[in-house]
Structure 1
Amino acid sequence: GDQFDPDFKKINPMGTVPALVDGGVVISDSLAIIMYLDEKYPEPPLLPRDLHKRAVNFEAASIVLSGIQPHQNLGVIKFIEEKINSEEKTAWVTNAITKGFTALEKLLVSCAGKHATGDEVYLADLFLAPQIYGAINSFQINMEPY
């Protein structure tokens, strides 16, 4: 709940997380923060050198950002709860999340290793982990198929 504190809103007027303050630099977007940190601290890299795997990481992040995460966003959920009943909300969220993870499963199969796109942790893993957690813990979605 700290994101609703007036001091936090000075850092990020949207009142959303995450936010990074690094000296005089303020960044309040997940992808921008990750890219900033990857440039500032290049080891270990958050993007693979292999061009195909790099593209797959960006595509996976895009699927999460546009197709999964918005449906798990608390502000969106609260708005939806005002418009439809709980059963309809759950069906709507479950459909969106499973559709996104089905697409991710097909995308990642060509690169999968110990982690989403190989044996190292990369950008895709950073985007997937919180969505998997939310799907399981907030919406009780069975992630076994993925």
Structure 2
Amino acid sequence: MAVYVLHDYFRSSASYRVRIALNLKGVDYRRHSVSLVDGEQRTDEHLARNAQGFVPALDIGGGRVLGQSMAIIEWLEATHAQPRLYPADPLARANAMERALLIACDIHPLNNLRVLKRIGNQFGADGDARDQWYRHWVREGFDALEKLAGEGPFLGGEAPDISDVCLVPQMYNARRFEVDLTPYPHLVSADAEMRALPAVAAAAPEVVKE
């Protein structure tokens, strides 16, 4: 079987969640770093892989490259069934996706690098203002997510699901931007349970940074 190639950036939240999913499922892959800071995502070479100029992009061989982290993880679930990241029960699956998309669609897009640059360049926001912007959207999302979390040890119960995969990178970023996590004991606990798993620990930015 061909080894997949994950084109990613070590601190990209979307890339981080794909690394977690790949590792949890025991999928063999190698990384190719695309530096967002140096603008490598906008090169012709990378745009040929991902028309949006985003990471991650997963090359699965045969000239086929997948983009969008949630689409990649859904493909992994369909092609590498175990361990499940999407519950079999329809209601549990919908609940897991509600939590996951709260992070991936409502928190993360407002706080990614291109948005932070835009509010600085277009509206003159300085570093402090950008940090306040970042923390506001994390807190707003986490306030809701804390209420949606189950009793644990993971967000959905006894085993990690897609929402836990999305949680870990967002918690990493929350700590980077010094968000007070005291109001979110369920999130802190689920994140700790996830990061204690060797597959998740191996995906951490500080581990994969080149």
Taking structure 2 as the reference length, the TM-score comes to 0.63
Q: Secondary structure in 1 aligned to 2:109?
A: helix
Deviation per residue, 1:29-77 (Å, 9 max, x gap): 0110010000000111111123332111110122112321013200111
Larger helix proportion of the pair: 1
Pick from 84, 94, 98 the counterpart of residue 135 of structure 2.
94
Matching residue of 1:133 = 172
Matching residue of 1:30 = 69
Gaps of 5+ in 1: none
Deviation at 1:136, TM superposition (A): 0.9
Deviation at 1:107, TM superposition (A): 1.1
Q: Identity, % of aligned pairs?
A: 34
Larger strand proportion of the pair: 2
| Equivalent-residue separation in structure 2 for 1:49 and 1:23 (angstroms) | 29
Q: Secondary structure in 2 aligned to 1:21?
A: strand
CA contact (8 A) 1:115 1:125 kept: yes
**Higher RCO (C-alpha under 8 Å, 6+ residues apart):** 2
Gaps of 5+ in 2: 1-34, 185-210
| Equivalent-residue separation in structure 1 for 2:113 and 2:140 (angstroms) | 19
Taking structure 1 as the reference length, the TM-score comes to 0.88
Deviation at 1:123, TM superposition (A): 0.5
Q: Secondary structure in 2 aligned to 1:52?
A: helix
Pick from 57, 74, 77 the counterpart of residue 19 of structure 1.
57
Moved more, 79-88 or 8-17: 79-88
Deviation at 1:85, TM superposition (A): 2.7
| Equivalent-residue separation in structure 2 for 1:141 and 1:71 (angstroms) | 16
Alignment RMSD = 1.6
Match runs of 1:36-51 below 5 Å: 36-51=75-90
CA contact (8 A) 1:72 1:134 kept: no
Matching residue of 1:7 = 45
Q: How many residues align?
A: 143
The one-letter code sitting in structure 2 at the alignment partner of 1:22 is: I
